């Protein structure tokens, strides 16, 4: 292997390493809790949870989603119309934990579709 090939190989490995670090950081930054664990957080705190979509109500600038896991359910409020998900999809939700009429809900800032059951 000549010096030029070695430099190209090193640049490729460095670029790949940077990409992998970026990808892993995004995965670790979005580590979800169970819905039950979310209920133990303070109102107003940022939470991340995962669940299966049980119900979706889409209005012009509002989407209300009910997700469930093995034990709990929670409503997700998103102030935009969302047509990329459907019932039984598994989603990860990041947002602010709020209380509305005595019920805990998540005002979503980010929703990622994981898979369909």
pLDDT digit string, tens, across residues 88-105: 999 999 999 999 999 999
The stretch 77-97 carries a mean pLDDT of: 92
Q: Tokens standing for 72?
A: 């709990």
What sign does the dihedral 3-8-9-10 (CA atoms) show? positive
Half-sphere exposure of 114 (CA within 13 A, CB side): 15
H or E element at residue 26 = helix 3-29
Say what the pTM is: 0.72
The stretch 12-28 carries a mean pLDDT of: 73
pLDDT digit string, tens, across residues 22-65: 666 655 555 688 899 999 999 999 999 999 999 999 988 999 99
pLDDT of residue 25: 60
- Residue range 35-116, CATH number: 2.40.50.140
Q: Which of 2-6, 12-16, 22-26, 62-66 has the lowest mean pLDDT?
A: 22-26
The stretch 73-95 carries a mean pLDDT of: 93
């Amino acid at each position: 292997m000549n010096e030029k090939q070695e430099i190209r190989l090193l640049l490729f490995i460095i670029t790949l390493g940077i990409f992998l670090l970026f990808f892993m950081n995004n995965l670790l930054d979005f580590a979800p809790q169970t819905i039950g664990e979310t209920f133990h957080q303070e109102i107003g705190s940022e939470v991340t949870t995962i669940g299966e979509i049980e119900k979706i109500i889409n209005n012009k600038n509002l989407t209300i989603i009910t997700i469930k896991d093995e034990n709990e359910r929670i409503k997700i409020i998103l102030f935009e119309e969302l047509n990329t998900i459907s019932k039984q999809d598994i989603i990860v939700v990041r947002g602010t934990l709020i209380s509305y009429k005595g019920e805990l809900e998540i005002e979503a800032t980010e929703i990622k579709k994981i898979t369909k059951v």
